[in-house]
Structure 1
């Protein structure tokens, strides 16, 4: 959890991002207690922005604040991950369809540059860098359709799915597979193929359903349940 905060900018949002990434990367492990005093001391800030960051992380389902008992990193819930993925599919498939009519050549080039960055990160086994570029890829799609709200919905849902996505690298969901799926999405969008873009996005976002049971089996100490919602157990990729 090495990071330098920009003291001229609001501290709490920066702490949210730093702590969020540490939770996703399992640097802060599920069930681990978080100390306001310790984190404030580590970053040289007061305890107030740390408290605000804890509240935001609790809203995202990443930590649990127990009055008079402390704050703890939440274990991963298969139900929460599956539900978040379900929401992402609904929103991001719509984004992919809309992008086929709105995207510009410059934006296609930006998407392909992010994919190339992922290839480089994968070659270096840089899972954290790969995950950041994955987030940038999906956020850029939301920007292309000029829907800030959709972008915020996706970002909120990612808080759950990114924990599993990080653990899935490189075994359960190999980076080359995820990269090839991104390429297929961009190819369909560039070709103005709305049905194809939606199909490829749906296939990409459902990949986590293949990885989730295996990750839960390999890391049972990180999970709080083994039950997936019915709507996810009955989905089949075309």
Structure 2
């Protein structure tokens, strides 16, 4: 593979963002196992990126809590236990509920249509057994709620916390029976947002994340 040429600042930024996103997604999907070494030279070849770009991506993922930097030994995938994932989810209940309430209070007619399309796509993905697509749509819903809440601090906190706990949620959502439960919970969140009911949106988030916590405890 040829190395990406980073001849401008904008190109370098785009390349670093792309590599960061790809490695993050691979960690979330379990393609890189907990405690697996992430060797810069190998990643550079895999993603056709410079060593400097890969190093920056790994530093960003370390800031998100997905990667652990080892003194004089490079990087590895950070192992996050079920217990830690549950603690993260408990924190997310309050912050994510806040974002959902803020979004419900200010959602526009155009955004309502967007949420309704997303709701239908999620239901169809589960009905078709396309759980990879369903997981992608879950992440899109989380992202849109954070962005539309216009609460910068809450959004930043959730960005860090979500990346760490989503690995365990991805495993849960890949189970057909769990997906059939969670899609109804996500639909309830969307219903509350499009109804412009902040209290109901916050409650729906709480119900969903408590359900995820219960499912994780059952798995553990």
CA distance in 2 between partners of 1:144 and 1:70 (Å): 37
Structure 2, unmatched stretches of 5+, are none
**CA spacing shift, 1:76–1:124, aligned 2, 3 Å:** farther
TM-score scaled by structure 1? 0.79
1:4-29 superposed Cα distances (whole Å, 9 cap, x missing partner): x8974522221111111111111111
Q: Is the 8 A contact 1:121 1:130 kept in 2?
A: yes
Q: Deviations over 1:172-209 (max 9, x none)?
A: 86222222112212222333333222211110122221
User: TM-score normalized by structure 2?
Assistant: 0.85
RMSD: 2.3
Specify the SS of the correspondent of 1:71.
strand
Q: Is the 8 A contact 1:63 1:72 kept in 2?
A: yes
Task: Determine the structure 2 residue equivalent to 1:16.
Answer: 20
Equivalenced residue count is 212
Gaps of 5+ in 1: 217-238
Trace 1:87-236 onto structure 2 (pairs within 5 A).
87-171=91-175, 174-216=178-220
Give the corresponding residue for 2:65: 61
The structure with more helix, counted as a fraction of residues: 2
SS in 2 for 1:28: coil
Could you tell me how far apart the structure 1 residues matched to 2:204 and 2:102 are? 14
Cα 1:118–1:70 shift into 2, 3 Å = same
Alpha-carbon separation, structure 1, partners of 2:154 and 2:14: 24
